[in-house]
Amino acid sequence: MTDEQRAWTVDDHLRDADPAHVELWRQVVALVEACGPVEVHAHKTTVTFAGTRRGFAGARPTRHGVDGFLDLQREVGPDPRIVHVSPYTKRLFVHRFRITSAADLDDEFAGWVREAYAVGAGAHLS
């Protein structure tokens, strides 16, 4: 079975990762789950989070910390955690982030996660 054919799991992303980065990833997941119910989907490149209408975020531990994305209705930054912003649609911007320490998961980052969760519930459609 090739990598493209097999089903990826969250454990695949965590298995060989630095334990400190796995802990950071778990903290990101806790911020996401604090917003409300989410569906978690493991893919080859990342673990994504979906709300009632669509996916809104993703994250995985890397050798640098935790890399991920948030779909927001506005551009945020400049901020050292935001490594790239690109338009996705007229109403959505994909924000690529990198978290390197627990201090990066402050109230501002938690607010971005809440905004992304609202997108997952369809806030961008109104």
Whole-angstrom CA distances from 49 to 2, 29, 36, 57 are: 25, 9, 11, 5
By the 8 A CB rule, do 41 and 48 touch? yes
Contact 28, 117 (CB under 8 A): no
* pLDDT surpasses 90 at 14: no
Cis omega before residue 61 (within 30°)?
no
Q: For 39-60, what is each residue's pLDDT tens digit? A: 999 998 899 999 999 999 999 9
Q: What is the pLDDT of residue 3?
A: 57
Classify domain 10-125 at the CATH topology level.
Aspartate Aminotransferase, domain 1 (3.90.1150)
Question: Could you tell me the residue ranges of all domains in the chain?
Answer: 10-125
